[in-house]
Amino acid sequence: MHIDPNDETLLGVIIGAVLASMGGLVSGRLEQHLRRREREQSAAQLFGEILAALKLILRMGNEARGRGEPYGAITLRFLKAAERETQIYERNRETLFDVRDTALRARTHLLLLQIILTLDSFFEINQAMAGGASGDAFRPSGGTPGGDPRDGPFDFLMELHALISSQLEAYEKIARQTFDAHDAAVQQTLGPRAPPAGP
């Protein structure tokens, strides 16, 4: 089969254009995938750091509660620090959508939302008590009098604290790094942490 030289040139141009288009398409898809993966990894690093900091701060707050006055200045400072960490989450919440795992996104949002609301409840009760309100005013009608009404929110914070580790494991896989630097820094600075005193 004989092909005219002019047709041969045209055919070469067409084939070249098709190959270039296919190459551009594949390259664009690959670049888009890599950018998405990079954004997801960056989001995992951010939320992993937030959760790791909360895990450490709440643990240290619980240790502070077990020494001296349960809700003294040190315990309150730890809870204020936890509140600041949740504010970082609130400022960057849209970044959570870069995490492709919808179940992980939902669990993260729910966990942090519960921590935020529980901290709000704790500080509202604490402020009212500092203003002279009776602790009994925060108990449901028919509830048993006595005890500190701040125990309820704080105990629930510690239940939420127990859920952080499983979230961190999921973020470590996406971020391809561990989030134990906070604990390691505390160990180097303060030494081993003693367990909090029992009730």
Condensed to tens digits (0 to 9), the pLDDT of residues 59-115 reads: 999 999 998 899 999 999 999 999 999 999 999 999 999 999 999 999 999 999 999
Is residue 11 a part of any domain in this protein?
no
String of DSSP letters for 73-122: HHHHHHHHHHHHHHHHHHHTGGGGGG---HHHHHHHHHHHHHHHHHHHHH
* Residue 199: band (very low, low, confident or very high) from pLDDT cuts 50, 70, 90: very low
**Residue 110 counted as domain residue:** yes
Whole-angstrom Cα distance, residue 106 to residue 40?
15
Asked if residue 65 is part of any domain, the answer here is yes
Computed over every residue of the chain, the mean pLDDT equals 84
- Sign of the CA dihedral running 126, 131, 132, 138: negative
Q: Into how many domains does the chain fold?
A: 1
Q: What is the pTM of this model?
A: 0.74
Whether 140 is covered by a domain: the verdict is no
| Domain range for 186 | 32-133+146-190
Residue 66 and residue 70: Cα distance in Å, rounded?
Answer: 6
- Residue 162 inside a domain? The answer is yes
Query: Does a structural domain hold residue 14?
Result: no
Does residue 57 lie within any of the structural domains?
yes
Distances (CA, A) of 113 to 57, 82, 94, 119, 160: 17, 13, 14, 10, 11
- pLDDT greater than 50 at residue 142: no
For residue 198, being part of any structural domain is answered with no
- Mean pLDDT is lowest, of 2-16, 120-134, 161-175, for 2-16
pLDDT at 34: 67
